[in-house]
Each structure stands twice: as C-alpha cells, then as structure tokens.
Structure 1
Amino acid sequence: MKNKIILLTLVALTSLASCEYSEFEENYTDPSKVSETSVEKQFTGFIIANRNYVLPSYTNYFVNLRITLNRYTQATGWVNEENQYVPGSAAVSGRWNDYYQFLAQYRELEKVYAGLSDQNKEDNRVFMITATTYLYDHTQKIVDLHGAIPFSEAGMLSTNGGDYSESYPAYDEPEAIYTKMLDDLAGFADELRTLDINPGILIGFESQDLINRGDIDMWLKYINSLRIRMLTRVSGIPSFSDRAASEINAILSNPGNYPIVTTNDENITFRIHELGTLITSNSFQTGLEDWEGNIAGKAIVDHMLNNDDPRLTYVFEPGEEAEGEFLTLDPLLSSSVQTELIGSNTMTIYNRTTLSRNQYFPGMLINASQIHFMVAEYYLKEGQDAQAKEHYESGVRESIHYYEMLRNMSNNLISPEPMPITEEGIDSYLADEDISWDAADGDMEKMRLIAEQKWLHFNVVQPNENWAELRRIEMPDLEFWVDQSNQQSLPPNRWIYPGSEQTYNTQNYQQVQPNDNLTRTLFWDN
C-alpha cells in the first residue's frame, strides 16, 4: 500500500433520520482536527468512504471500467487499438488506493471500538458485525482483481501511531483471505441472529446505517447471500469444494435461521432518497456515456434480439440515427470501420433513462437474480434438477422485473418508451428453445443457460461480478480481436499491482512479484 496516503476520517451526523439523507456535515474531516468520535460516527463514515464503488460514479466507470472489465466481458463495444488488454495504470492505482483508504477507515473503526469498555463493546457489537460484512463484500472484489493482497496487516498506520516503519503490510494469500472471510461470515450469521441489541444502540444504528436502515433481518440476508456468492466463487476447486457444498446446503436447508435475498424487494443497495446528497448517482451519465463508453456489446444485444428478451428495450436503445433498429458493433472489425460506425450514431447504446441518466439509480450490493442463479448452479451440481430449474427461472423473472423497476424509478425520460412486460411474455421467453431449461441437452447446456443469464443480468451494472463469473465458468464463449502487437493479445486473467507497491512496499512486494503478470489465473479460476 502506498504508505503516504492521508487518512481521512468521515464523520456523519448522529441525528440522521433512518430513511433521509439530506445533510452530511464534516464529510471528510482531518483526524487531527476532530476532538472526539464514536463507533457509530466512524461506522457511517466508513460506509460513505466507499460510496463511489457502490453508486455508479464517474471515476469508477470512466477511469476504471470503461477500458477494463466492461470490455473483458463484452458488455460494451469499443474501437480496437494496440495495448487494449493491458489495464491502465490510472485504473489500477486509483482502484487500489481507494480500497486502502476504505480499509484504513475500517481500521480506525476497529481502533475506536477497541478503546471501549467491555460493556460498551458488547453494546456496539452490531456495528462491528455489519461493518465487517460490508468490508468483506468489497475485499472479495479486490482479491478477485489481483489475487494476493495486503490485508491482515494493511491500513494500520493510525493504529501504529503513525510509525511508517511498522506499517508496511505483508501480502495475504487469496485462499487465506477467503477462508478468513467465510469463517467470520458464518459466525456472524449465527451471532447477529441471536444478538440482544440494546434498544438505545439500535436507535443509533438505524440512524447511521445507510445500507439496510437498521433492519437486522436485511443484514442477515446480506450476510448469508454474500456467503453464497463467496462459496460459489470457490466451489470448483478441491480445497474449497466440500466446504462450499456443505455450507450452501446448510443455508438453503434452513431459511429460518439463514435467510437470503430472493426478491427485488430484498435487494441490498444504497437507495437514493434525496438528490443533491452524497448518496447520489449524478455522475453515472458522464461515467458511462463519455467517450462512447455506453456503446452496447454486439453479443449481448444479439442474444436479446434473437430470443425476444423482454429486457431488451429496458437495458438498451437504438442509436439516434438507426431508425429504431438495434444495430451492433462487431468486435472483430478493423478500428477504422468501427470508428466510422460509432461516428454514424447508429450503434445501439445502453438505455439512458434506465441507467446512466437515472439519478435514482441505486447502488447495488446484492440482488435477487444473482443469488437465484448461483443457487441454481448449486442444485444443478447436486443433481436436483427441479430445484435448479426453479431458481434459474426465478432468476430470469427477477432480472426482468429488476430492469423494469429501474426504469420506473428514473427521473429522466430521454429514451424511447420500452415494450410493456407481461407475465405471458416472460413465460414465452422462458419457453424459447434457446432459453428453456427443459429443452437444454444435459448439465453442461444447463450450466450454459445459467452463465448466459448471469452475463445478461450483470452487463454494466455489476461489472466485477460479471468478469469474475466469466473467468470462473468460461461461459459464454466470447470472441475477441487479437492484438498481435502486444504480448497480452487477449483479455487478462487478473490485474497487476500498481507501481506504488514496488516503490513503497518493496520488500513485501518482492514476495509476490513472480506471480505479478496478466496471465496468472486466480486460485478459483478452474
């Protein structure tokens, strides 16, 4: 970690109403100017610190995703160029530094909590369980980008009294980080369910919780759904396969104790209640649309067109000069032809009303469709076909209604009115030969159906999940232009580490340097 990142402590108002976000004072307060803080204030500051990687932001979409993950999954179309499969240094270093500032916020929360009396620790335990859950959600994303990362010793500069020499963090192996997170989350699932929370503390928690507004049942669904996501990610490798099958079975067999997200009403999100606050999607437009970052990927649009997908007109819209046709950009064409096609304003783009210009677009953490598709995969592997089919179809239905919901909550009407969605239309879609579970020939074809529906559902909305699942399952099979001018001729398997690690964390970086290349696969990538 770059050792001279300035630690900024976010302080949020303790008087926030549980569903109103109209005021945030001293949002980025220098710790040296803060006379006192508290667990609940640090808790909200910690959540806010990472908001740009939950709510769609300009930095994440334009700097990071536009030239990396959205291309690696062909969620978007772009003009081919040399060196296009090497992640840019601005994307890599920016995402890395932001994560470690976020982790430093968590360490500050740990520091404040550690200073409490035993009774106050017990009273404030709910803050630590939920904060750690949120940290692990985003730590998984960073591990899935890089592999080994500094974690257990990282973010300790403040804890170590500002001593830089004691604060250079070693790298933790990704398997160890996953094991730690899975162990803790399993414990949280039982602890939070039975936790006797002081009523006064609960009132403060409801005010400071920007994710689930203090709803403990929703936090339990978040914890158990996150467990399913992590367990599914590692389910294909021998060292985790038995654990994954056992724990997913335990969760699904006891929904009373281990509830999960199953409907869009239960999605775990940052919800936008008022515009003009820190909880906003105002920069989604420039983040996605600038420099033609919202050009649709050919494969995804063709899949929707060929199968009369009810989501088509909610997720995409024709180019302004396309006369209503959904025309797509072939990724194998020469750059000159691609440039001409994009310049003609005929290429299909992501729906601006539903997505990029929807200022009420929620920050997505966990949603029903992704959980249904992962549960469908579990049941398929276990030979329980009827239950696999049920969750596969539920995932499709929830996805269709999810994009319908996003469109309906938008405060922008620039895009054409979409085709109405009916249950009969969804039934017809699910009965299509290329979509139907019953028409699939064998488990491999059924796995293909699940993988394709995940990919359709994630698109540019959940790019980290999209790229991770595409690498893990290796479906759908996408064809890329080969960059003959560069050693990295196709999309990479991971991101490399930022240059700051070699400069500032030299000794620890040397331990991972042999594996720091774009072709190294993640440990779960089977």
Structure 2
Amino acid sequence: MNLKKFTIGAMVVTLTILSGCRKDYLDINSNPNQVTAATPVLVLPAALSSSGAYFSTSFSFLNLWMGYWNWSGNYSIGTSDKNYQFTTSFNTGIWDNAFIILKNYDYIDKQGATLGQPLLQGMAKIMKALHFQILVDTYGNIPYTQALQGLSTAQPVYDDAKTVYEDLFKQIDAGLTLFNDADKFAAQGGTVLNPGTNDIMFKGDIAKWRRFANTLKLRMLLRQSEKADRLAFIQAQLAIINASGYGFLANGENAAVNPGYANSSGQQSPFYGTYGYQVNSQPIEAYNINRANKYGINFYQSTNDPRLAEFYAPVGGSGTTFNGTFFGTIAPAVNSLTSGIGPGVLNNVNQPAYILTSHEAFFVQAEAAQRGWITGNPKTFYQQAITESFVNLGLTAADAMTYYSQATINVGWDTSTDKIQAIITQKWASLNGWSPFEAWADYRRLGVPNVPISQDPSTSVKQIPVRLLYPQSEFNYNSAAVKAQGDISQFTSKIFWVK
C-alpha cells in the first residue's frame, strides 16, 4: 500500500521539530495525546525526517575536531569551544533530541505490533537500535531498559553500555524477523501494509532495509575490533550476518531521507538550511562561521584529490585557490581569505539528509574483508568506496579511478603497506561534512588519521575528547541516576569499545 508523501509542514503535526525541543521522556507537561492520535504509517515519515536532520546537523562540531573545518576570523569564539573544556551544557540536543525521536519510533513499534503491521514495526526497531547505538557511542552508559516509558518511569536508571550494545543486535534481528514474518504471511495470501512512499528512506524496499540493518550491525562490530574480550561476541554476530544472505548496502544505496525539501522557510534540506544558504540565497551565519581547516586542505592537495573543490569553496570565487587555518589557531583568517563549505556537500536546497552513505558502507565492508570477517576482495571494496564518495559528491567513477590509481601511500591500495590505515584514512577523507561522527569514532578506535589537536594556548589537555558529558537536563531531572555514573571526564571516561 502506497500513501501520499508528507511535506515537512504536515510532519510537525506528529513530531516535535528538533530545534528547541526538550527531553520528552522526563517532561511532565507533555501532552500524552500529541503523537498517539496518528497511525504509525503517518508517524514514520516524520520520525525518519527527524533522524535525517539529527544525523545531518547534530554533530557538526566534530568537523572542527576531526580536521575538516575551523572557525572564521570574522567571529569571536568562546574559549571552551576551542580547548575541549566544555561543560554539561555543551550540545545538549544530541541527548534530548535523540530521546524524542526514539519515543516516536517506539510508538511506531508498539502500534505496529497492535495493528499487525510487521514491516513498520521492523523498521522502527532498526531505527531505535541505530539511535541508541549513537547515544552509547557518545555517552557510554545510558537509560535503556527503563527509557521511553513516560511518567511511569520518569527517572530511568542507566544501563551498562556494553550490555545495551549487545541487546541492540537482538533488536535489529527482531526487526529482520518481522520482515521475514511479513514475507511468510504475504506468501500465504495475507495482506501486509507496506508504507511505500511514506518510507522516505527506502520507499518500502525491504531488501534495502535488510542490507541497511546488516551494514549497521557490521559497523557496530567494527567499533569493538580493538577489544580482545569482544572477539567471541564479534564472531557469533558475524556468523548471523553472513548466514543471513542479505548482504550490505550496495552501489548507489545511500540510507538518506527526503520528504520533499523545498526552497521555503523551514522546508530546506537540514544540512543545507543550517550550514548553507537562506531562502533568498544569502549565506547563513553558520556558513560564514565555519571555514576550511588547513589540515584537510593539505591532505587533499598532497594526494591530488579533486574532491578538494567539492568539500571546500575556492577563496573569493577564484576557482583554484583554497585556504584554511588549523583548529584553535590564535589568528584564524577572515572569510575573504579562507574557503567555505564546498558545493559537493552543499549541493542544493533539495539534497537528501544522509543517515549512512554508500561510501561509508563500502569502507565498512573493506575493513571487515581485510580483517577476514566477511567474504570479498578488500581492494575491490576499498576502490568502490572511493568511487561512491566521488559519485556522491558529483564527480565521476573515472575521476575516482584516476585518483586511486596513484602510487601514493593511503591512496593506492597496492602501494599502501598498512591496509587498515589506508582504509580508515580514505574513509576519513570521504566523511568531510557528511558524517564527522564516524570519523571521530574511528579516531577513538584506531587513532587514524593523526589529526592535530587544537592549537589554542589554553588547551591544557592535549587530547581530542573520547566522549561527551551527560547533559545538564539529566542533572536537573534525573539527578540520582546520572550521579550514580560517577565523575565523568571527556578525556578519560572511555566508551567500552575505545582503545
């Protein structure tokens, strides 16, 4: 069954807009009828749209940490933003918005079960697992078993991060089982509701959902690659993945949402509307604030990488000159002397909001194949990952072949003696602006590439943080549970999988 695509304007009826939203699972003033008046198939596009906005805009500060962007010299920036000495008020929306989005998926999950809609229920379980995973990767222990229960458990306890991770695999598998149940029911002549175009990510294509689920699981396993005590768990989960026969996201298969973005107020593509241009085509302030990082420019130039002109805009419209400064420098260059965000990532107002790109999916497969975890040629996966990056930026497969055919370490496969380092370096090179969170995760796991720390003189701890601090909202509304986690440091309180 296909249902008409919702516009963003219609979505706000069923889901709170991300900007300015509060932590729903602790909000005693929330209206219990706000979402439950809608059928799950109508909540799905709103939830997916919010996921797209969340992953597109919540972690952009990591572009600074990971060597992609720097602050403009036209603006005065707070010291805590430059020396990693942030507080519990830093980027609280990462936590608060995630739980609001999770509650909507939880509604779809439960109502899907009640109404006998296994495809919707399976999609919701997979998306819940994704959001909980990112919360664990960011904060460690989190409310999980008692989360999303509203006033019945207004102060949920925190669950062990490793235990949550293990259960997320079960939840994804439960979602896949629901897809299989739907297949069996349909084969027996039953009618199964497929959300069709209301699934604004895969248009109801369950084969893609299965590949997406497997890709998420493989990425979660790679998070744990450097922990010897996780080997048995990894091997057991790999057996399930490999036996499924579903495979992973393939050529051109971006997990991305687009409910119908348009050049109207509040309807622009989230990344474009946050870091690009206004409806009148004038630069948004965030575009002027965020400029190119010299570390990124140096890498692309040193490897003859044509993606340079897609990740960064030329200085003064010159077409050939690119310039940036290192993160935290005491003398950041003004906008007229630095490159802005480039046209490859700021493509147009209608561009999709990416949740997991095809190039990241192939880099995940390349690393897993190189480790012997999955079948396939790691070189082929590696070169396809680079090709997908080029194509997603608007370049060609021929451009990619010219690039990776160079006899340059960390570019040419045969030239690179450390294959894992080459994979992660190229993965980092592809995630500029797209997904700095994944670059941060790989850096915490493997220390690749060797991104320079902030140059700000007040940077007393010479280390990129390994986590964020629990948000102030937790200390305000769930103080006993969050204080039970002990004294948390962004430098030493590691997520369980961090090296």
Distance 1:111 1:249, change over 3 A: closer
Is 1:312 matched with 2:304?
no
Which residue is equivalent to 2:321? 325
Distance 1:457 1:201, change over 3 A: farther
**Deviations along 1:308-348, whole A, 9 cap, x unmatched?**
11322222221117673122313474x1x32xx224x1212
Which residue is equivalent to 2:143? 150
**Deviations along 1:376-435, whole A, 9 cap, x unmatched?**
22222239998121211111111111111xxxxxxxxxxxxxxx7462662353333221
Contact 1:86 1:492 (8 Å CA) reproduced: no
Within the candidate set 430, 449, 457, 2:405 is matched to 430
Distance 1:367 1:201, change over 3 A: farther
Q: Which amino acid aligns with 1:314?
A: E
Aligned Cα root-mean-square deviation (Å) = 3.2
Which residue is equivalent to 1:141? 134
Distance 1:273 1:16 in 2: 14
Q: What is the Cα deviation at residue 497 of structure 1?
A: 0.5
Contact 1:107 1:156 (8 Å CA) reproduced: no
Identity %: 20
Which residue is equivalent to 1:11? none
Q: What is the Cα deviation at residue 109 of structure 1?
A: 3.6
Q: What secondary structure, in the 3-state scheme, does the structure 2 residue paired with 1:77 have?
A: strand
**Deviations along 1:248-299, whole A, 9 cap, x unmatched?**
4653x557x22211211x2111035452597641662443652534312212
Distance 2:299 2:489 in 1: 36
Which residue is equivalent to 2:157? 170
Q: Which amino acid aligns with 2:408?
A: E
Q: What secondary structure, in the 3-state scheme, does the structure 1 residue paired with 2:10 have?
A: coil
Distance 1:69 1:380 in 2: 27
What's the TM-score once normalised by structure 1's chain length? 0.79
Distance 1:36 1:303 in 2: 52
Which residue is equivalent to 1:350? 341
Contact 2:215 2:361 (8 Å CA) reproduced: yes
- Structure 2 spans left out of the alignment, 5+ residues: 17-30, 277-283
Q: What is the Cα deviation at residue 73 of structure 1?
A: 0.6
**Deviations along 1:104-162, whole A, 9 cap, x unmatched?**
22343455456x3xxx4xx31221111110121122112111111112211211xxxx4
Q: What secondary structure, in the 3-state scheme, does the structure 1 residue paired with 2:315 have?
A: coil
Distance 1:511 1:397, change over 3 A: same
Distance 1:34 1:402, change over 3 A: closer
Distance 1:137 1:35 in 2: 23
Contact 1:482 1:489 (8 Å CA) reproduced: no
Which residue is equivalent to 1:70? 63
- Structure 1 spans left out of the alignment, 5+ residues: 1-13, 405-419
Distance 1:428 1:238, change over 3 A: closer
1:240-259 to 2 correspondences below 5 Å: 240-248=230-238, 251=241, 253=242, 257-259=245-247
Contact 2:466 2:495 (8 Å CA) reproduced: yes
Q: What secondary structure, in the 3-state scheme, does the structure 1 residue paired with 2:212 have?
A: helix
Distance 1:208 1:515, change over 3 A: same
Within the candidate set 365, 374, 392, 2:355 is matched to 365
Is 1:82 matched with 2:83?
no
Distance 1:246 1:376, change over 3 A: farther
1:291-302 to 2 correspondences below 5 Å: 291=286, 292-302=288-298
Contact 2:294 2:326 (8 Å CA) reproduced: yes
Contact 2:139 2:468 (8 Å CA) reproduced: yes
Q: What is the Cα deviation at residue 38 of structure 1?
A: 2.9
**Deviations along 1:72-106, whole A, 9 cap, x unmatched?**
11111236863321346554322211112122223
Q: Which amino acid aligns with 1:480?
A: I
Contact 1:206 1:213 (8 Å CA) reproduced: yes
Which residue is equivalent to 1:382? 372
What's the TM-score once normalised by structure 2's chain length? 0.83
Distance 1:354 1:239 in 2: 41
Within the candidate set 393, 404, 420, 1:447 is matched to 420
Q: What secondary structure, in the 3-state scheme, does the structure 1 residue paired with 2:441 have?
A: helix
Within the candidate set 271, 276, 279, 2:258 is matched to 271
Q: What secondary structure, in the 3-state scheme, does the structure 2 residue paired with 1:71 have?
A: helix
Q: Which amino acid aligns with 1:430?
A: S
Distance 1:109 1:506 in 2: 29
Distance 2:403 2:96 in 1: 47
Which residue is equivalent to 1:417? none
Which residue is equivalent to 1:474? 447
Q: What is the Cα deviation at residue 36 of structure 1?
A: 4.2
Which residue is equivalent to 2:40? 39
Distance 2:294 2:125 in 1: 39
Which residue is equivalent to 2:388? 398
Distance 1:369 1:88 in 2: 34
Contact 2:363 2:423 (8 Å CA) reproduced: yes
Q: Which amino acid aligns with 2:225?
A: S
Mean Cα deviation higher: 472-481 or 238-247: 238-247
Distance 1:47 1:201, change over 3 A: farther
Q: Which amino acid aligns with 1:86?
A: Q
Which residue is equivalent to 1:460? 433
**Deviations along 1:38-85, whole A, 9 cap, x unmatched?**
33334444334444214x45xx3xxx63xx311111111236863321
Q: What secondary structure, in the 3-state scheme, does the structure 2 residue paired with 1:92 have?
A: coil
Which residue is equivalent to 2:26? none
Which residue is equivalent to 2:281? none
Distance 1:321 1:88, change over 3 A: farther
**Deviations along 1:489-511, whole A, 9 cap, x unmatched?**
54211100112222221221122
**Deviations along 1:4-42, whole A, 9 cap, x unmatched?**
xxxxxxxxxx98425x74862634585447894433334
Q: Which amino acid aligns with 2:182?
A: L
Distance 1:477 1:143, change over 3 A: same
Which residue is equivalent to 1:505? 478
